[in-house]
């Protein structure tokens, strides 16, 4: 296995474009090293992007949006009070992944590019409208997070392409987000269902909403019908029931030891209601 | 297969080793530097027996490559005591009998020290969450948690 630690994303992209066999990029390594060890994936080329300038930075831009370096860890995100104030749902979703030790290494970009349908940070990012910059042989392009995963373990990134930055929109006024997941134990497990909700209010009425589901389909879903169910409402009981119905209807899950199809479908609706209530309360300025 | 020359700092000492890029930091600590305090339990980041800090950040050394340690500051359980003088956590673990087989203990000591450096006054819940990535199959955790809480109280009084 060849190991490279390039000084720029253009160099990283060129290394990947010219490599033969299996290439993996190394950010936090909490998935890549497990795959390496279990011999699930035996990369011929490993490209460590952590020596590139700025990859640990968490920056608030002049317009209120955020740019995160691709090696910014969960621990660094949780310790960033301002980021957590703007986007508590994104930060809490990332923070749910693994132990303190894993948080010291794991990254949003790694969670995204690992391609797991049960990735915790991804529904929160999809709901928040997060985009990533992808650097490739033909230059940079900006891609919505929702368009990166294409199936379990698969992404839309082509040979020579690497995610080089994460962009979180400006929070703006009267907005709130939340992420909830169900796991069979209290800590450190893989989501059976994950729900991210991001919404904005005008007074008591929801004017914008994005609802994303994880672990209930081959990819993480952005569910338009869930958004429609709550936009224009004050999140009353009828709206919550319509939201739950839409969430359950969008599910296309697998049966496995963590949860059956029927269970995942039911729980998606329940969690969507709970996450929406939290996002709504946050949009009202409540500290929940 | 070309080997990489790594220069790093472990417990304050500058050390160098040659490693294959597939070798983990844990492999390098144990097999090249003879620092066998960090243990390999699962090798997949689930058990925490290999916990060390890198640039002050608690990590599993099995989830990091040896080559990535170049230029970093690594702290292991071997650096916790000062010569023959045990760290307050180590003394308290003995007092509380917070270990039986001892495989998890180095990782738990490193993780607990890291917690107390960040938060000298953790609640029991914060302590349990912080140490949730360190598995122990002997003690049932209660003695470990009590030892850490009591050490924290002692250190607060002493400071």
Q: pLDDT tens, A188-213?
A: 899 999 999 999 999 999 999 999 99
A5 → chain B, closest CA residue: B68
How far is the alpha carbon of A24 from chain B, nearest alpha carbon, in Å? 13
Give the pLDDT confidence of B95-115 residue by residue, as tens digits: 999 999 999 999 999 999 999
In this structure, are residues A32 and A11 in contact, taking their beta carbons and an 8 Å threshold?
no
Q: Would you state the pLDDT for residue A187?
A: 81
Mean pLDDT over B17-23 rounds to 97
Q: Measured between CA atoms, how close is B35 to chain A, in angstroms?
A: 20
- Looking at the whole model, is its pTM more than 0.90? yes
Q: Looking at beta carbons, which residues of chain B come within 8 Å of A3?
A: 4, 21, 65, 67
Q: What span, in angstroms and rounded, lies between the C-alpha atoms of A79 and A74? A: 9
* CB-CB under 8 Å, B59 with A101: yes
State the pLDDT confidence band at B2, using cuts at 50, 70 and 90. confident
Report the pLDDT value the prediction gives residue B55, as an integer from 0 to 100: 98
Report the percentage of chain B scoring pLDDT > 70. Answer: 99
Which pLDDT score, from 0 to 100, does residue B29 have?
A: 98
B136 interfaces chain A, CB cutoff of 8 Å: no
The pLDDT tens digits of the residues spanning A236-256 come to 999 999 999 999 999 999 999
Contact predicate A141/A232, CB 8 Å = no
User: Is a pLDDT exceeding 90 seen at residue A39?
Assistant: no
The domains found in chain A, sorted by start residue, are 2-116+131-168 (3.30.465.10), 175-283 (3.30.390.50)
- CA-nearest residue to B65 within chain A is A33
Q: Do A100 and B58 touch (CB under 8 A)?
A: yes
CB-defined contacts A:B, below 8 A:
82
Is the predicted ipTM greater than 0.90, yes or no?
A: yes
Closest Cα of chain B to A173: distance in Å? 32
* Dihedral Cα A59, A63, A64, A69, nearest 10 deg: -20
CATH domain B88-158 topology: DNA polymerase; domain 1 (1.10.150)
Q: Which residues of A are less than 8 Å from B129 in CB distance?
A: 100, 187
Q: Name chain A contacts of B63, Cβ cutoff 8 Å.
A: 28-30, 33-34, 101-102, 105
CATH code at B4-79: 3.10.20.30
Of A3, A98, A188, the CB nearest to B21: A3
CB-closest option in A30, A46, A188 to B21: A46
pLDDT in tens, A74-91: 999 999 999 999 999 999
Determine the distance in angstroms separating the CA of B85 from the nearest CA of chain A, rounded to an integer: 27
pLDDT of B131? 97
- Asked if B14 reaches chain A (Cβ–Cβ under 8 Å), the answer is no
User: Per-residue confidence at B32, pLDDT binned at 50, 70, 90?
Assistant: very high
The reported pLDDT for the residue numbered A185 is: 85
Query: Is the pLDDT score of B94 beyond 80?
Result: yes
Instruction: Give A39 or B152, the one with higher predicted confidence.
Output: B152
Residue to substitute from A49, A51, A100, interface B, most B β-carbons within 10 A: A100
Average pLDDT value for residue range B73-85: 97
User: A258 CB contacts (<8 Å, ≥6 apart)?
Assistant: A183, A184, A189, A190, A192
* Range B134-145 average pLDDT: 96
Q: How confident is the model at residue A10 (pLDDT cuts 50, 70, 90)?
A: very high
Locate the domains of chain B by residue range.
4-79, 88-158
Q: Is the pLDDT of residue B1 over 80?
A: no
* Chain B residue numbers touching A26 (CB-CB < 8 A): 65, 68
Contacts of B48 in chain A (CB under 8 A): 99, 101
Please check the confidence at residue B59 and state whether its pLDDT lies above 70: yes
Average pLDDT over residues A143-162: 97
């Amino acid at each position: 296995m060849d190991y490279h630690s390039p000084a720029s994303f253009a160099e990283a992209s060129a290394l990947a474009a010219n490599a033969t066999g299996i290439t993996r990029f190394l950010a936090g390594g909490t998935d890549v090293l497990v795959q390496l060890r279990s011999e699930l994936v035996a990369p011929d080329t490993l490209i460590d992007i952590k020596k590139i300038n700025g990859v640990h930075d968490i920056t608030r831009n002049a317009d209120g949006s955020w740019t995160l370096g691709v090696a910014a860890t969960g621990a660094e995100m949780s310790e960033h009070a301002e980021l957590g104030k703007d986007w508590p749902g994104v930060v809490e979703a990332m923070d749910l992944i693994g132990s303190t030790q894993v948080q010291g290494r794991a990254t949003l970009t790694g969670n995204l590019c690992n391609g797991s349908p049960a990735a915790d940070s991804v529904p929160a990012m999809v709901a928040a409208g997060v985009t990533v910059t992808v650097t490739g042989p033909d230059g940079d392009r900006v891609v919505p997070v929702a368009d990166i995963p294409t199936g379990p373990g698969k992404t839309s990134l082509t040979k020579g392409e690497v995610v080089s930055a994460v962009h979180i929109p400006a929070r703006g006024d009267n907005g709130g987000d939340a992420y909830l997941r169900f796991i069979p134990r209290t800590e450190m497990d893989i989501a059976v269902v994950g729900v991210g909700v991001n919404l904005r209010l005008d007074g008591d009425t929801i004017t914008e909403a994005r609802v994303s589901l994880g672990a209930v389909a081959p990819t993480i879903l952005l569910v338009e019908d869930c958004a429609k169910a709550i936009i224009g409402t004050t999140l009353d009981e009828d709206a919550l029931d319509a939201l739950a119905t839409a969430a359950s209807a969008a599910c296309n899950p697998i049966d496995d030891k963590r949860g059956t199809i029927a269970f995942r479908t039911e729980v998606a609706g329940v969690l969507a209601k709970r996450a929406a209530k939290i996002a709504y309360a946050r949009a009202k300025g409540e500290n929940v | 297969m070309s080997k990489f020359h790594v220069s790093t700092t472990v417990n304050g000492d500058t050390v160098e080793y040659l490693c294959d890029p597939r070798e983990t930091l844990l492999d390098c600590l144990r097999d090249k530097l003879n620092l066998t305090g960090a243990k390999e339990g699962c090798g997949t980041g689930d058990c925490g027996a290999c916990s060390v800090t890198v640039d002050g950040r608690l990590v599993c050394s099995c989830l990091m490559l040896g080559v990535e340690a170049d230029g970093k500051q690594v702290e292991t359980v071997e650096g916790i005591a000062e010569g023959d003088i045990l760290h307050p956590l180590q003394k308290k673990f003995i007092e509380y009998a917070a270990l039986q087989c001892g495989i998890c203990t180095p990782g738990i000591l490193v993780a607990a020290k890291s917690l107390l450096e960040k938060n000298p006054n953790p609640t029991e819940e914060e302590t349990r969450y912080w140490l949730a990535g360190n598995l122990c199959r002997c003690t049932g955790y209660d003695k470990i948690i009590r030892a850490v809480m009591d050490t924290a109280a002692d250190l607060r009084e002493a400071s």
